[in-house]
Each structure stands twice: as structure tokens, then as C-alpha cells.
Chain A
Amino acid sequence: MWKIINLNLFALILLPVCLMAQQKITGKITDSKKRPLPGVNIAIKDTYDGASSAADGTFSFTTDLKGEQIISVTLNGYRPFEQKINLSNPQVYNIVLKEVISQLNVVTISAGSFEASDERKGTVLKPLDIVSTAGAGADIVNALKTLPGTQQTNDREGLFVRGGTGYETQTFIDGLLVRNPFYSGLPDMPGRGRFSPFLFKGTTFSSGGYSAQYGQGLSSALILESQDLPERSSSSVGLSVIGASVGVDELSKDKKGSYGVEADYTNLGPYLDVVKSKFKPSVNPEIIGTSANFRRKTSSTGMLKFYGYGNWTHMGTYHPSLEYPGYNELFELRNQNVYTNLTYKERLGRGWRISSGLSFSSNTDDIHTDTLEKTAPTKINNLSSLTQARVMLTKSIGYYSSLRMGGEYQYGVEKGAFNSYHANYTDNYSAVFAEGDIYLTPQLVGRVGGRVEHSSVLAKTNFAPRVSLAYKMDAYSQVSLAYGDYYQKPEQQYLRFKPNMDYMKATHYIASVQRITGNYTLRVEAFYKKYHNLVKTSPDTSNGGTGYAKGIELFWRDHKTFKNMDYWISYSYLDTKRNYLTYPYEVQPDFAAKHTFSVVYKYYVPSITTFFGATYSFSTGRPYYNPNLPDNQFMTQKTMDYNSLGLTVSYLTSIKKAFTVFVLSVSNIGNFKQVYGYRYSTDKLRREEITPNIPRFIYVGMFMNFGIDRRQDVINNL
């Protein structure tokens, strides 16, 4: 036994001596295009021995090791490489490293959509861009009107996209439909969006070709993704010439939950005492808004969120009567709106994810109209409520591909009263959808899916196929194609009287090319959209309408060329005609302009910590109906071109511990005359211009945010 041990000891003592002979290892590392890679870490695995490659990709080191070893080669952004080597007969190692396919190099479906997100890379916009677009007044939809595909229809509610009406754009929060995303407005004076852009971490504006997840929008989808937990607790106070707001956002001690409440009050009365509006207000326009949110992490991957708001509006105007010159028409509106949304997201394991949601919303409009001293007053009461549930399952397949499937159900109640006349209906709407994003290679993705919908009031079922394809040509450029069918129920005011109509239908074809480098974005998109079954109201209410829209759109953004300056330019060419409502045949509709152009400019002056922003929008004149013209000249006359220049100046400072922003914002600073159309009296003898009620609006406000450690907010050279 001792002998053996002695022998072992002897061997142990001698071993290092055997190893003293050093081996030199040399080689060169290149990428797959034979370019040398510097800074590569080359090592004999699990030992100290190794080296970094030089600027020309070469390396050399010595080792005392012998025999079979593993050489390990690593470089950030490249796949690690390992190979067995035999140190007894060393050689020159020339190794080729393959690039890792990073998120930036993987193609994403982009045809038809503009995305603003902080989390995903390579998006065209950031959420902050929406807030800081001059003239938009922090209204999401106003900011989106600077993007291609949209119309400058500021006399009507909603987002008019690619020859579609405002009704054809649907808004979704965390997958759930928002039935009344805009404040109720007065005639020719649309209300703005009901929710603050600060609530959303991601905004996707799709001007066509969107996913089978979403339905009931013929033209466009505005997809909003709510914020997760705030980084810290804070409270805020806002004051402006038209109102005040307060808010609290509280992050729980364990940082797994939060709640927030907000309230605001707007009263345009004092402002209108100083700056006269075109129409005299009958009451001081008032809006009370409240909102609440609650968020809770249910596990490391699960999240439960509640978001809800309640709004009350009261406003009205005296409008000089067109029918009875010398008399006034009164229009007064009271609106109550409640929206609630409860969502839950969790990973289920094995690549499965669930996202589900429940929502209830209700909207009441009480309208009182009266041509004073001439006709009997009219009372209109519209009440709509929507209850909905939605479940979606997503399964990841491989590295990039995924499969989505789900269903939704909506129960809608529509009640309308016109004096003592009532027209009510309810609708049970259900839909199922399935869709796959299939990556054939990291550079080529196909999305194939479909959606089946049924509406009880229409008593009809539809099937809408959707297909997209995107191919990434290099790290920056990609081409995309999209095709899809989109169905939508006719508007409530028609369905109310004629329930058994059919879905309206649009078919989209889109081709786009985009190039996004770090600081420049260029996008060109062409589309063709065919409308079927549009609602006609003359001679009868039917689905006999038709139409088309085609066009080409450009988007250019640059935040590099000029220091501290960022700008984007959008141009849309639109050729659209439709035969709908009372139109006798297909014509360019009165909401569509042929050429639309916008420039958004943002400039920051660090020395005075002030942002300057300007937004200029132009569109060619829109057709209007002149009843004095013969039928064959229907809608051939056009309004003057539309010009608008908005300016915003924001001064950032701190007062005590509060982060404070002073904002001065002026819409239509050049005081351009803006005419959206003309309205004629029944006897065709008189007409009035449709123009903004307040042609130029001057907003002055301040916003203070009290946080725990606000100074961390903006670090370095902002």
C-alpha cells in the first residue's frame, strides 16, 4: 500500500515538471464575411489560459496544458464557438464566428402600422413623441393626424384614415374595444380623446392590414397598451387657462402593486369671456373627468390591471339659424361616460401565454335642441352600453414564431329616444380568431390568420381572412405586403331603424418599404382598398353602397442631421370615391382630401431648458355638396385648401422639489382661414361656412410633478 502511495506522490511531484513545456497557440478570428474580429475572447475552456484577438483578428498565447482540451471562443453579439483541440500537436486556428440574430435583425410585420413603444426596438415613434407633438394638445388622435394616411378632418369626430370615415377606426385598450373614445362634441366641434397619452406604454396606429385579433373596424385600428407598474410613487398638479387637474400614483412598498387616481375639471367659460367664439355659448362648457387604475403583479410573470374612467360633460351653443334668419338655434348636450377595463396576463409554461379581459362601458348623451321661438324643442337621449369579455392564448414556437387564438363576446345595448319616439336594440356579438406568425427564416415572416364574427342583430356571420408577409433585406430595410378582409356593423343610427342589414366590408391590399437606421426613418407605402356593402340611406336604407380608396404615402423622420432637433414629414396622396348615404353615384366624399402634408418639428435649447415645437399641416380642399348644382355635378365643388400651424413652447424647471413644466401652446398661429365645407338652407338660398368655432386657441398651463427623487428623471445631456 505504501508503495502505491509513494508512487502516486512521486507522480504528483513530477507532474508539473512534465507540464513545464509550453505550447504556443495562434490563429485568427473572422466573421462569416471574412472580416477580422477584434476583442474576441479565446480561452482553453475553464482555465486561465487564453487571449483577446487584436485589431486584425489574430491572437496568440502560450499554455502549459497538454493533451485534449476545448478551445472556447466568445464575442458579444456572436454565437459562442467551442472546439476540441489536441495540444500535443498544435496548429493555427482560424475560426469563423456567426453573428447572433438579435431582435434588431429579426423582421417584424409592419405593413400599415406605426408603433410607438419604448420597449420594442426599431419603432418609428416613442410614446413621448405623441405627448410632445405641437398643436396636438397631448391628444393621441391629434398627434396621429401628423402621420401619413390620416385626414385633417377637424370638424368631425374621430380618425379618418385612407378614405374611411371616423366610424371606421376602432380604439382598443389592452385588446378591449372602447366604444366612445372621444368626448361628445357639438355640431362641427368634435370632442377630443378621453384618455391621457401618459397612461400608455405602447401605441400602435394601424392604417390598414391589421391583425385578426381585432375586428369591427373597416379602415383602421388604434391599439393602446397600458402602463405597467410605475417606477415610484408620485403626485401631480396641473393648472391652465381652462381648468385644473390633480393626480396620485402610489407604488406599494413591496413594489408589486400600485394604484392611481386622477381628477380634472375643465371650464371654458372664463376663456370664452376673453376670447370670443364664433357661436355664443348657452352654458359655460364644463367637463369633469376622473380616472382610477389598479395594478398588481400576481407572480413574477402575471399581471392584473384595472383601469376605469368616468366623465361628465355639459355644453351648448346658440347657433344663428340658417333656416330662419334672425333666429337662434340652441344645441345643448349633457354627456356621461363610464369605461372600465380589467385585464389579466400570465405565462402558463411551455411557451403558452394567456391574456384576458373584461370590460363594461356606458355612454349617455342628452341633447336638447330648439330653434328658439320658432319650433318646438326637441329632446334626444341616446344611451349605449357595452359589456365584453376576451381571452387570447399565445403559444411560442421555436425562437420567433408564435400562434395566437382567442375569442371575444360583446353584449351591446343601444337605446335611442327622440322626443317620445323610441328605437332600441341589443346585439350579441361574438368572434373567434386564430393567427400564426410563422418565421421561415429570421428575415422572412408570414402572418396567416382569420376571424369569424357573428352579430345577433344582423343575424349574419362573416369570415375575414388576413395575410401579411415581411422580408428584411438588411439590418435596416424591409419590405412588407398585407391583404385582409374587414367587416363592420353599420352605424347605430341606421341599425336602430333597420336591424337586419348586412356587414359593411373593406378589402385591403398594402405594399410598403421601410428603412430605419438609428436616426433616420424612411417609409413608403402604397395601398388599395375596396369597399362593399356601405350603408345607403337614399332611396332606401340598404347595403347598396360601394367605394374604393387608393394612394401612396411617405414618411421621413430625422433626428440626427441637426443637433437638438428632430423632425418628421408625412405626405399622403389619396384617390377615393364612394357611393354611400345620399350620394347618387361614386364621388370623392366630403371628408377626403387628395393631398395631405404635415411637418412636425421639435427643437430643444439646452441652455434655457426649453422645447420648441411646431406642427404644420396642409391639405387640399374637400368636396362639398351644393344643392343648386344639377345631379351630374354632385360634389364637384371644393373648399379652399387647409393650412394649420401650431406652436408649442415648454419650459422645464423645478420649483422646490417639484418637476415643473410651463406650456404655451397656440393652434393656428397664422390665423389661416379654415373652411371645412358649406351647409345650405332647405330653400337653397342661403349657405354657411363650416369653420372652427375657436379659430385660434391659446393654451397656457403649468404642470407639476412631485416625486420622491425626481432629479433622476432626466440625466445627462437631455
Chain B
Amino acid sequence: MKRILFALLLSAGITSVSMAQSAQYEGAMTKQIAMLDDYNNFNPQKLQELANTFERIGAAEKTQWLPFYYAGYCNVMNAFLEKDQSKVDAIADKAAADIAIADTLSPKNDEVYVVKSLIASSRISVDPQSRGKQYGMEAANWQSEAAKINSENPRVYILQGQSLFYTPEQFGGSKTEAKKKFELALQKFSTFKPASSIAPHWGERQAQHLISQIK
């Protein structure tokens, strides 16, 4: 009897501890993601701070993939924003390190692959002539891997659209094809339900913005 009581008490204790942790986690993540969703924070300094915070949350939680996912996302966005080409690789490496942890914590995750695709694309700007082929292929591969896992993920189509949008026509790029992809992405957004309030949900605004640039 005593033993059962003790066990009950113990398990109640554990539950309450993990509940407490979860509450802190959800709260912290919600707050950071709200900041990330705010377009005013889309600058290198803020993104770095957000990446740092996500990394701290990830290090404390240990088993959650989302903090590392967001840290990788913030870092890769910084890689795209970096103007000094010689620094891009180091930032992309950092993003890749974050996303590698997310990948181990949550294998075969389409959202993780989306960021992997972004990381490959970010490296092209360092030397487009030499790198275009290799990293362009790698980015495309991650896009198709992500689509295989979840063809309803709108971000996959945004990335495909972006590739078409930024590739010159003679290399197979096409603004009209890009527009179709963005429209498809927006259509997927209308039915897309993030798994939770803190699950990845970015992209709708980007798609709308890019569509508005296509006449």
C-alpha cells in the first residue's frame, strides 16, 4: 500500500514537473515565434538573438526538435541577409549544425528538409558560377524529399517557386511557372493546419509578396 501510494505520489510529481516544463516551453516558444513572425525583427541582429534564444531553449529541453529547427531557420535567414560573401559559409554551417540536431531529434521531417534546402540555396551566393549546379541540385533534392513526406506542406512549393523565380529563364527559370507554384502554396496554406501553435507556419506572406512582383 505504502509502495503504491509512494509510486502514485512520485508519478504525480513527475507529471507536475514535466507539465511545468511544458508550460514554460510553450510560453517561451510562443513568445519567440511571435517575434520571429514580426517582420520588423527580420534583420541580422534580431535574427541572431532569436537563434541564440532558440538554442538556449533547445539545450535546456534536450528532446524538442522545434527550438533547433527555429535556430537553424533564423541562422539560414541570416546567411541570406549576409552581404559579405566570405562570411556566408560560416553562418550556413551554423544553421546546418542546428538543423542536424533537429534532424536527429525528429528524423524524416519535411519541415527540417525545407530548412536543409534553404541552407543549400544560401551557399550558392558565395560563388554562383561554380556552386550553382552543386548546391542548386542539393536544394532541389531536399525539396523533393520534403514533398515525398508531406505533399501538403505549402513551404515546399514556396521554395520550388523561389528557385524558378530567381533562376534566369535560359537556365529553366520561369516567372509564370513560379507564380503557379506560389499559387499552389497559397492554396495549400488555406487548408494547412500547423500541428500546434508553435509548429512551423511561415511562408504565406513571402508567397504573396513574390506573387505581387510577378506581372
Contacts and interface: CB of A to CB of B under 8 A. Distances in A.
Contact of A713 (B85, B93, B133): B133
A76 B164 contact: no
B162 to A, nearest CB: 9
Interface residues of B, number: 50
A43 B136 contact: no
A367 B207 CA distance: 68
A1 B167 CA distance: 73
A654 interface: yes
A702 to B, nearest CB: 13
A713 B52 contact: no
Interface in B67-92: 85-86, 90-91
B167 A711 contact: yes
A711 B53 contact: no
B24 A518 contact: no
B188 interface: no
B169 interface: yes
Contact of A46 (B60, B129, B166): B60
A38 B129 contact: no
B127 interface: yes
A1 B2 contact: yes
Contacts of A654: 169-172
A688 interface: no
B125 interface: yes
A39 B52 contact: yes
Contacts of A76: 90-91, 93-94
Interface string B43-55: 0010011001101
Contacts of A710: 171-172
A426 interface: no
B130 A127 contact: yes
B171 A48 contact: no
B149 interface: no
A41 B163 contact: no
Contact of B167 (A55, A72, A77, A712): A712
Interface string A33-51: 0000011110101111111
- Interface majority SS on A: helix, strand, loop or mixed? loop
A76 B133 CA distance: 27
Interface string A651-664: 01110010100000
A711 B163 contact: yes
B131 interface: yes
A44 B167 CA distance: 45
A128 interface: yes
B185 interface: no
Interface stretch (B99-107, B108-116, B137-145): B137-145
A3 to B, nearest CB: 13
A712 B136 contact: yes
Given A48-B28, A50-B52, A76-B91, A713 B171 contact: yes
Given A48-B24, A606-B168, A716-B167, A231 B137 contact: yes
Interface in A562-602: none
A715 B128 contact: yes
A712 B140 contact: yes
B34 interface: no
A17 interface: no
Nearest to B5: A5
B56 A50 contact: yes
Nearest to B97: A76
B173 A711 contact: yes
Nearest to A50: B56
B19 interface: no
B155 to A, nearest CB: 17
Given A38-B45, A48-B24, A76-B91, A118 B170 contact: no
A60 interface: no
B22 to A, nearest CB: 13
B124 A715 contact: yes
Interface string A343-382: 0000000000000000000000000000000000000000
B56 A709 contact: no
B134 A118 contact: yes
A518 B82 CA distance: 15
B132 interface: yes
Contacts of B173: 711, 715
B130 A128 contact: yes
Nearest to A126: B130
A126 B127 CA distance: 10
Nearest to B67: A48
Contacts of B7: none
Contacts of B138: 231
Given A231-B134, A715-B171, A718-B168, 14 more contacts: A40-B52, A48-B57, A55-B45, A76-B94, A118-B130, A231-B138, A654-B169, A654-B171, A712-B137, A713-B171, A714-B136, A714-B167, A715-B124, A716-B132
21 contacts: A5-B9, A12-B13, A45-B59, A50-B52, A51-B52, A74-B55, A77-B90, A126-B130, A128-B129, A652-B171, A657-B172, A659-B171, A709-B137, A713-B136, A713-B137, A713-B172, A714-B132, A714-B167, A715-B132, A715-B171, A717-B128
Interface of A: 1, 5, 12, 38-41, 43, 45-52, 55, 72, 74, 76-77, 102, 118, 126-128, 231-232, 518, 606, 609, 652-654, 657, 659, 709-718
